[in-house]
Each structure stands twice: as C-alpha cells, then as structure tokens.
Structure 1
Amino acid sequence: MSDIIIQNLLSPVVLFFVLGIIAALFKSDLKFPQGLSEGLSIYLLIAIGIKGGIELSHYSIQSVIGPILGALFLGVVIPFITLFIMKWMKMGLDNSIGLAATYGSVSIVTYGAAISFLEENGTAYEGFMNALVVLMESPAILVSLLIFNILQNKKDVVLQSSHSMGFVSSSSNLIDKEVIRESLFGKSVLLLLGSLIIGLALGESAVPMIKPLFIDLYSSVLILFLLNMGLIAGERLPEVKKHGMKLVLFGLLTPLLFGTLGVVVGSVVGLSLGGMTLLGVLAGSASYIAAPAALKSSVPKANPSIYLGLALGITFPFNLIIGIPVFHQIASWLA
C-alpha cells in the first residue's frame, strides 16, 4: 500500500497539483488566465466524453446494464447517507443539501487523474467507465434538490396548516425547471454527454481525427489543469478552517466511506480491478462544477465556502494523493 501511495505522490500529475497549492499558500503571483482555465476544463470534458463514447461502441447494452444500475444506485444513495451524517452533526438544512449534492455528484478531474494512475500501473479498465461519469454527474444533484423541496414544503404545510390551499401551492413544483435545465444541460453534463454520444455514433472511425489532440496530449494537458486546480484548492484551504474540525474530518473520511462503497458495488456488478477502482474514485469524489452551479440558483442560502471549500480544499487533494491508491488497493483485495 505505501509503495503505491509513494508512487502516486511522485507522479507528475500530483506533483504539479502540490506545486499549485504551495504557490497559493505562499501568495505567489502565479495565475492562470480565465480563458485558459475555461479552455482546459472544456478540453478535459470533451476528451473523457468522446473516448468513453468510442469505447462504449464496442459493448452491447446487456454487458453494461449492471454497471449502469450500480452507478445510478450510488448517485441516489450517497446523498441520503450524507444527509444522515449532517443530521448527526446538527448541520442546517441548506448546507446539508449543499454537501449532499456536492458529494453525491462526481469530480471529473479526480477521475482523469485516476485514469492516469491506472495507465502508469498498467491496470486495464472497462472502456465504458467514461460513460458512467456522465450518468453519475446529475442524479445526486436532482435527488438532493428533490429532498430539499420536499422538506421545505413540509415546513410550509406546518406554517400554513390553517389554510387548505397551502399544501397545493407549495408542493406544485418540487424541482424548478431551471434546476433541471442546469443539471441536464449545464456545461459539464452537456459536454460530457454530447461528446459521449458523438463518440458512440462514430466509433473507431473518429480515432484518427481525435487521437493527436484528445488522446496523445491528454496527460500533458491534465498536468496544466491540475496546476491550476492546485492554485484554486490552496486559496480555499483557509476558508475550510473557519467551519471547525468536524467538517474537515467529514471531507477526509467520507471519501473513504463512499469510495469503499463504490468499489464494493463495482465488485457486485462484475467490474475488473481497474473498473472497481474507477467506480470507487467516482463515488468518493465531490463535484465542484455541476453541483455548485445548480446549488447557486436553487439553494442560495447554502454557504459555498462549506460545500465548495470542502470539495476543493480537502477532498480533492486527499483523493488525488491518498484516495486513488487506497481505492485501488481495496479493489485488488476484492478482485
């Protein structure tokens, strides 16, 4: 186990991420232009989506239905577990929902780093795993917001119990149309799903065109992206400290809990060692793109420094340095 962690620590992807954190903590003037940062994000989403679509074209629906159901199960169950933990920690409803959506959804960059880790270790994985990234992006967000609106409506019923029309008016719209639009057609989901469909439709015929940019250069571009993510994570770390040690422990321990659950589910649905590792990484990661975008409009009272600060400042570095090799080790035990 220690050898795997050390090997991961010494990979270029992790070292450049650490360099970014150091630069942020020591207030270096190193900054990525906004346009470049956005461009790297778009590149990563398209690369993962289109490669997943091409690989998915090699499989029949019967061979992927089990992993798809497993991924959807995780997307629904993890928000409920998070809310249970938050209730025990006596966290307010808005921030609890913020964390449930964030930790139930996935981190594309953590997944990308996990792929690099598996390739460096010569571990094969199912090509359709990229498709599961798309499937796990939105369900947790929708489930979390549905729970939020149901609980809000219950409050309205209590407050308006003397008015029979109160229940009808408050429950008529459990999830706002704008929330559904953002969850299904926001940048990350749209690019992932769109690229996946394009890759699936074109299959191997697309490889000669996409290989030079989206396959050969993927690892190098990922290094640039993670340097930028290190800068952002380093800036978020001081915010997390303000909210106490309990939340810091949540950001460190829940990835292990959810990631282990993901590996176990991967084993149940018949994934390989690499596939189990990746499903564990997806389950143990936290979203900082899709979930915050939906929460900003639908749960405005949720504090971004809590859900975004934890996801970027604590969980993302933890998974990148320790979580990925740990999930790989757990998967190897089960395999």
Structure 2
Amino acid sequence: MKITLIGSGSWGTAIAGRAASNGNDVIMWSHSEECARGINEQGVNPRYLTQYELPKNVSATTDIVKALECADGIIFAVPSTHLREIANQAAPYICETTPILCLTKGIESTTGLLMNEVIGDECGHPERIAALSGPNHAEEVCQGQLSAAVIAAEDNDVASFFKGILLAPEFRIYLSGDVIGVEMCGAIKNIIAIVCGIASGAGFGDNTLALIMTRGLAEISRLVHARGGEALTCMGLAGMGDLVATCTSPHSRNRSFGHAFSQGTSLEQYQSQTHMVVEGAHAAKSATELAHILGVDAPLTFALNDALWHGQSMQEVLTNLVDRVPTEEFYGIIE
C-alpha cells in the first residue's frame, strides 16, 4: 500500500514508522523543508523524535500534490488549529473513495465540529473517515513498547482497513462505531490533563489529582452523551485509558504545559519553546462554547478557559471550583 501521512510532528512520525513497519510505503507531507530533508537524507525527523530512525520505506515531501498522488489511504496528523486549512488544500487531490484516518484531537472553535467532521466538511464523504485515539505517547510507540488504540468509523470496513495498516503485536488495535464518543474523549481529556498539570505545579497531591481525573471523566461523559456519543466509550481506551496517560505522564505536552503555566509560563512561550501545539488549551475555548450550546455543566473546562483566555488568576479559578456545591455523582449522564 501507499499511505500518505499529512503532518510531520511527533505523533505523525511515530505512526508513519508503525505503518511502514508493516511493509507499506509511507510518504509524509511536511510544511517544513528541514523536516522533509532530514527524513529523506538521514531517515530521522530533525525536530521531533530526533533519536528515532524511521524505516527505509518512509519518505517526505513539502509538495502536498505529490504526497497524495495514488494514495491507497490517507492519515491526517496536523494540529487542530491548522486542520481545516490543510484539509482544504488536500481535498482537490483526494479520490472520493480513498479511506481517511484522523489522528488530530480537538473541537473546532465557533463551529463545534470534531476533527473528523472538519475533514469531512472539506473532503466530502464522511462515511470513509475514521478516527484513532488511545493512551499512546509517540515516544513509547516508536520504541515498540506495548500500546493499544481504538479506531472508530461509521463504516467497519474503513476501520478494518486502517487496523490492517497499523496493527502489530506491540500495537494492539480495537474497533468502535462510536466516532463522536472517541473524538470527544480525545479532545476533552487534554483539557483535564492541563488542569492536572496546574494542580501538580501548584503543589497539590495525589488526592487532588485523583479528584480532578475522576470528575474530569464525569465531565467528559456528560459532553459525550450530550453530543450524541455513547457514555460507555468514556470507560475505554479513548476515554479512561487516554485520560490516565495524558494526566500522569511526563511525555504529555498538555500536563507539562499546565505545570509550566502554574509557574508563570504563558501559552505562547511554551509553544514557542517546544515547537508543539497545546491542543488542550485551544480545546478549552471551543469546548466551553460547545458546552454552553449543549447546556452541559463542565466546570473544569470552564475554569481552564477562564484562566487561559479571560485572565482570571489561579486563586480565583480555584475558589470558583471549591465553592461549588457537590451534587449527584453521575448527573447529566444517565437519563
């Protein structure tokens, strides 16, 4: 198979290597000449996962038309803030029957669309678009450490196609039909991870982190349920699994940003230093918009949105959270 991977960040690089290890020819599209040149000449992405040597059947280009030519499958792995623009550029060169896999996690601001829906909006035929999510850090996947993911699609054949592209003994893949649930879990867990990072950086202990993660999972479940997904998905790899990995790991850029933010580092400074987009920071804004539209109570999301985008101090945010009166544990999930 020829697989086109749109993006050259750490997760895209790891997945390119995983697909190539199964004998597929993978061509990566990168906006960076430096990244494309490094992959082609040294077999290494010079900016992300710099110690990872890609398989020989991975190449790269900055020409999106060349990258998409004769592709048997397409994988999008670009930041949520750039996904629509890049999908729009790619759309004229994508065959209407070519299966597409979305690795990007987030909710589009103003529209409330999930990332698979943004791709479908630009490329058409949403039934051929799948989403992959799960507790996977690129740093561990590229080392061949045991990991698992879930691929969700309306059409089981599309999910099975990408399962065949990526499956390995060390990379287990499960299938789901709940695209909305999987996508929502992937977007909101990044928000919760930032809050965990802030709490850790502020000196709070394990009890507090467990509280944030557990109430965060309930918050995710309410949003998934209101958006039309299945609440049970939140207990799986895309929900609880990814939440644990993202909220606890030093590899997590969202948790790491939260820790840095609590020490006075701004979002702009952090992203400039790491060359990475903090998806949870942008999701806090779009998820807040969506929660208000759906009439869902999402206190952790609202608190992070206030701190990042409306200038509230951490003390004000914490006071607002602690002053809330606890209600039923599973309100908003079970009708």
TM-score range, shorter-chain basis? under 0.3
Higher relative contact order (CA 8 A, sep 6+): 1
Q: Determine which structure has the larger helix proportion and give its number.
A: 1
Q: Determine which structure has the larger strand proportion and give its number.
A: 2
